[in-house]
Structure formats: structure tokens, C-alpha cells
Amino acid sequence: MPSTPPDTRPDRKRKRPVHEHDIARRPSNRWSPPPAFYDNLSKLPLCRQVLREFDRRTQQYPEPGNDMPPRRDGWSDELSQTSQTNSRSRGRTSKISAYNPAFNQHLNDHGIHTGNDACEAENIDQIRNALLKRRASLSPSNFTQEHFKAFRKSNDEAMTEAATMSVVFGTIVGKSDIPNQQNVQFGNLAPLTDGSLTVAQPDFYDGCQPRDIKKSVRDKLSDYIIPSTNSLNPALPNFFVEGKGPGGNAAVSRLQVCYDAAFGARAIYKLRSYVDPDTAVDGNAYTISATYNGGPGSGTLTLYATHLATSEDPNRPVDYHMTQLRGWLMTDSAESFRQGAAAIRNAREWAQEQRKALIAAANAKASTLSAQTSLSAASQSTVDMHEPDTSADELAEDQELYRARSSRSVPSASRSRTLSTTRSRKPKRRRGDNQE
């Protein structure tokens, strides 16, 4: 059987020649961080994003001078200068998320540490003990083996992160009247670092009702304690959860919840500073966070505590440290589930207690300041009401002028009185004088 001859007909489609400078000029459809983000990192991770940024810069300057000293971050100064220009070749820029390998380095550079056993909170043991409290709702009679099998089945059938958080995690935390919200962007908060990171958006967080905090305090600290642009969402968050479904990256959820918890720890710090700046940083943790990684073959729950410590960097007052508290494989056994579920429920209540105590102190401070302001205003009003229009100096000058004028006018006044007295005195009549 003869083979089919090759098609030698010319391609009718007109091909445009491709040049190297066209490739360099062609905009990329990838989202990429602003160049300054990489320039500011103290250490560059070896990842695709960094290599892509390096390629972009070397395409613009294919043969940089060899006499140029290298920078500490690995870029040459000339390549770094290109980050300020030629934005057309960059495509679209975006904020940095926890999925970027440089995210963790950026957090560390700004004093937000995902784990440091050498710097644990002073009350870490107290928190761990609080997690151990038994709960009647999770006793073997209330949470049976059948309940556990149903939970494990729902965990294995959760094919998305949304299903993991709504169904599986909902079973773990149970029912509660603690104010909470899910998947809310913290768009009202001031950035934690330099503004290059994405807005925090925890899968789940607890807070207080905004009305629980006096309006004067909310207005003063809005950028730190009111996370959402929707003022109805919970305020002063200090409990956070990040979840992942099948195929989710546990390392990413850990970075995300570290970022979330830093916002919560800062909120507590700002409110404590309002109450008493001298005791705002006491080495204790007041913020708890958790990660849950669900899906078939998984089901790990991990709890963390985040606290502040005085920074060794003179450019910032405090650093944030996240420390692991405990961890459980929730699908291992009914007893393992009971322990983990009790711990996270106890953690939520413990975090709520910290909020309530701090809010009470802040509201009391606000009332004291308001009373002092009212008293000061009333005192000033009283002084203004009784105070003459002229000052003491002006009165003294007027008195001196009056004395001077009086001393000059006394002689003439005496003569006038003498003359007046003489004229008014009638002569005495003698006997024998004729009367008219």
C-alpha cells in the first residue's frame, strides 16, 4: 500500500515574523506583584514567580555591566531601576497572597512570625489548660459512635473548601450565640505591612457586636478594631479559622491564619493601649486561630495562639508571634473528635472572655474621659462667666492712671470746696441792726 505523499501545498495563512523585541514587548496575562515587592525582600525564595521576575528584568537589560556591585537581595541596581519603568511589558499587577512563596518572607521581614517556640506567650500554659475543659454536649452519651461515623462520612464527601467549612467545620464548632461571620474581607483595616499584601479574608471569625463598644472608642480606633466596611459585621476579632478542602495546601492555610491573627492581635493591642499604654504589651496572648484541612484521607484541626512582643527592630514597636497550641486528627476516632471539638469550642469562649473584659475596661475609660471633658468644659464656662472683660494687667494700669490724676486734682478741688464754704456762710447779725 503506497504511503500518502506529504502535503507540499503552501500554507495560505500569512505568518507574521516573530522578533525577540516583540516577545519582550508583549504584555503578559499573568497577575504579577509590583517589582518593589521583590526589591524590599531581605531574602529571595527560589520559586517560579521570582524567576519570572528575573527573566522580565534581564529581557530589558540582556547584558548588564559587570562592574556593577550586586545588591543584598540578588538584583543588580540597574535591574531594579527597570522596575520603575516599562509598565506596558509587565501586564497586570496584583497584591501578594499566601499562595506566593515570597509571602512568608514578607511577613517575617515585617515582624509577623508563623512559628517561634523560643518566643511563646506568657500565658500559653493557661490557654492550653482552658482547652481541656470537658463539655457535656460532647460526652459519649450525647456524641455517640454513630455521630462520629456521620461526621467522618461528611468529611470524606466534602469535595470543595466551601463544603468543608459549611458542613464539616460546622459540626466541629457546634451551635453558639457568639457573634461570627464567614468569608468577610477586612477592607476597613489599616495595612499590617506596606500595603502590598491582599486584604485579609478569613473563612471564619468571631468578634463582638459593634454596639458593645462605645461610639467614641469605635470612632477613634476604627482602622484597627472595625474590620469590615459593613459596620454590622462583628468588631474586635480575636478568633479566626482558615479551612481547606481536598487538595488544599496546609502550608497556605497556616500562612493565611497567621496573617488573620496578626490583625486580631493588633486590634487587641490598640484597644489595650487606649485603656493603658503602659501595660499594652504584657507578653500574653489574647488571640486564637485555627486551621482545618478536610476531605478524603484528611481531617486535621490545629489551634494557635498569637501574641505581641517588643520588637528588636527600631523601625517598628512590636512583632507578632504565632505558637501552636494543640492538634488533632478529627477523623481518627470518636474520642479524638471529642477532644478536638471541645478544644475549639473552649477556645472560642476563652477568646470571647478576653474581648468582654477588654471592652468593659475600654468603655469605662471612655466614660471617665467623657466625664473629665464635661467637667473641664463646665469649669471653663464658669470662669468665663465671672471673668471681667479686662485683664489684671489692664486693671493695674487703670488704677495707676487714676491715682496719678487724683494726685494732680486734689489742690484745686480743696480750693473749690473752701470757696464754696465761704460763700455759703451767712454773717451774724448784731443787736440793734435795722431789719429790712
**Identity of the residue numbered 35:** P
Q: Give the residue numbers spanning the domain of 313.
A: 104-373
| Domain finish residue from 341, 373, 405 | 373
| Rounded CA separation 272/278 (Å) | 9
Q: Is residue 248 within 8 Å of 295, Cβ to Cβ? A: yes
Residues 157 and 76 in one domain: no
Residues 51 and 113 in one domain: no
Residues 58 and 110 in one domain: no
Beta-bridge partners for 92: 31
Residues 228 and 85 in one domain: no
| Domain finish residue from 59, 94, 129 | 94
pLDDT at 85 over 70: no
Give the other-Cβ count within 10 Å of 363's Cβ: 16
What is the per-residue DSSP string for 53-97?
HHHHHHHHSSS--TTSPBPTTS-BHHHHHGGGS-GGGT-EE--B-
pLDDT value of position 118:
79
Among 60-64, 362-366, 369-373, the range scoring the smallest mean pLDDT is 60-64
Name the 3-class secondary structure at 190.
coil
Q: Is residue 322 within 8 Å of 114, Cβ to Cβ? A: yes
| Phi, psi of 112, deg, nearest 5 | -115, 110
| Domain finish residue from 321, 344, 373 | 373
Residues 189 and 88 in one domain: no
Give a yes or no: residue 425 inside a domain. Answer: no
pLDDT value of position 150:
98
Q: Is residue 171 within 8 Å of 299, Cβ to Cβ? A: no
Residues 120 and 52 in one domain: no
Express each pLDDT in 257-297 by its tens digit: 999 999 999 999 999 999 999 999 999 999 999 999 999 99
How many CA within 13 A on the CB side of residue 94? Answer: 15
Express each pLDDT in 1-20 by its tens digit: 445 544 545 444 444 444 43
Give a yes or no: residue 35 inside a domain. Answer: yes
Outline where 3-46 has alpha helix (H): 20-25, 35-39
- Of the candidates 163, 150, 112, the residue with the CA atom closest to the CA atom of residue 306: 112
Give a yes or no: residue 28 inside a domain. Answer: yes
Q: Is residue 183 within 8 Å of 145, Cβ to Cβ? A: no
pLDDT at 353 over 50: yes
- Of the candidates 174, 272, 187, 178, the residue with the CA atom closest to the CA atom of residue 229: 187
CA 196 distance to own-chain centroid:
14
Residues 202 and 153 in one domain: yes
pLDDT value of position 117:
72
- C-alpha grid cell for residue 348? 472560642
Residues 247 and 349 in one domain: yes
Outline where 164-203 has alpha helix (H): 169-173
412-423 mean pLDDT: 46
Q: What angle is formed at CA 163 by the lines to CA 162 and CA 169, rounded to 5 degrees?
A: 95
Task: Categorize the per-residue pLDDT at 45 as very low, low, confident or very high, splitting at 50, 70 and 90.
Answer: low
Give a yes or no: residue 381 inside a domain. Answer: no
- C-alpha grid cell for residue 355? 474581648
Whole-prediction pTM:
0.71
Residues 182 and 40 in one domain: no
Q: What is the CA radius of gyration of the chain?
A: 39
Give a yes or no: residue 65 inside a domain. Answer: yes
| Rounded CA separation 385/127 (Å) | 57
Residues 108 and 204 in one domain: yes
Q: Taking the C-alpha atoms of 272, 276, 277 and 281 in order, what is their torsion angle to the nearest 10 degrees?
A: -50
Residues 188 and 250 in one domain: yes
**Domains contained in the chain, number:** 2
Give a yes or no: residue 241 inside a domain. Answer: yes
State the helix-helix crossing angle for 145-157 and 334-386, rounded to 10 degrees: 80
Give a yes or no: residue 220 inside a domain. Answer: yes
Give a yes or no: residue 406 inside a domain. Answer: no
Residues 55 and 202 in one domain: no
